[in-house]
Amino acid sequence: MVELMGEWWVSHQADGAADVVIREKLRAVKKKLKDWNSNRLGERSGRKLWLSDRIREISLADEEEIATEEKLTELGLHKDEHKHLLLQEEILWRQKSRAVWLKEVDKNTAYFHSIASARRRNNHIAAIEVDGVSSFNRGVITKEILDFFKSLYFLEDIVRPVLDDVQFKVLDEQSMSVLERPFSDEEVEAGVFSMDRDKAPGPDGFCLAFFQS
């Protein structure tokens, strides 16, 4: 998967400043990931059902002592693959639930599923009331929320106090130069790798695991 994302990243070309290029590349990779994940989930679900049926079929044959050595080897391989698919599903739900204090190997899929569903319900805004009128339109809801926070953080009358007679301590030239110098690659890398891989994604939709990988 890492190699595939690397190919998507390199294949998309963008012009402009470094931050613009990164933003456009992230958008392109995000779209590719959504398409890939949509197809992958369908394939994974179908594969999991097929494996369950095949495991059951061979297990019944083994109970009746008609399973061959080749079939028993196949049974072991299918069980390993089925276990791997279940673990992937559990990791997915654990990430959605944000319950990072539990481990996926503890078999808490149902718990993770319930926590993620509760988070989705709590974060969902189905309707909004403005001036006594209720609206269920998603466009109206989005606009009203944006307008609310814009007005909340916008100051019409800006009052700036005068501090001409106040004496402040100042930094020396060396301290100021340290504060103003650009971040080094080592500092950026240390900051990125010191954070939890499964924390909530940023505004670009990518969690830290993406950048760490």
Tokens of 167: 């004496």
Return the pLDDT at 41: 62
pLDDT tier for residue 103 given thresholds of 50, 70 and 90: low
- The per-residue pLDDT for range 86-101, each reduced to its tens digit, is 777 776 666 666 655 4
> Residues 148, 140: contact at Cβ < 8 Å?
no
> Residues 24, 34: contact at Cβ < 8 Å?
no
How far apart, in whole angstroms, are the C-alpha atoms of residue 213 and residue 210? Answer: 5
Instruction: Choose between 71 and 186: higher pLDDT.
Output: 186
pLDDT tier for residue 186 given thresholds of 50, 70 and 90: very high
Helix (H) / strand (E) element for 135: namely: strand 133-135
C-alpha distances (whole Å) from 67 to each of 59, 72, 73, 87, 116 are 8, 7, 10, 28, 42
Residue 104 confidence (pLDDT) above 60? no
pTM of the predicted model as reported, rounded to 2 decimal places: 0.41
Return the pLDDT at 13: 82
Half-sphere exposure of 196 (CA within 13 A, CB side): 9
How far apart, in whole angstroms, are the C-alpha atoms of residue 11 and residue 8? Answer: 5
Return the pLDDT at 190: 92
Tokens of 86: 């279940």
pLDDT tier for residue 165 given thresholds of 50, 70 and 90: confident
Return the pLDDT at 187: 92
C-alpha distances (whole Å) from 76 to each of 40, 52, 60, 113, 179 are 24, 12, 14, 28, 60
For the stretch 146-176, what's the b/e string if a residue is b when 16 or more beta carbons lie within 10 angstroms of its beta carbon?
Answer: eeeeeeeeeeeeeeeeeeeeeeeeeeeeeee
Instruction: Choose between 111 and 181: higher pLDDT.
Output: 181
How far apart, in whole angstroms, are the C-alpha atoms of residue 11 and residue 78? Answer: 36
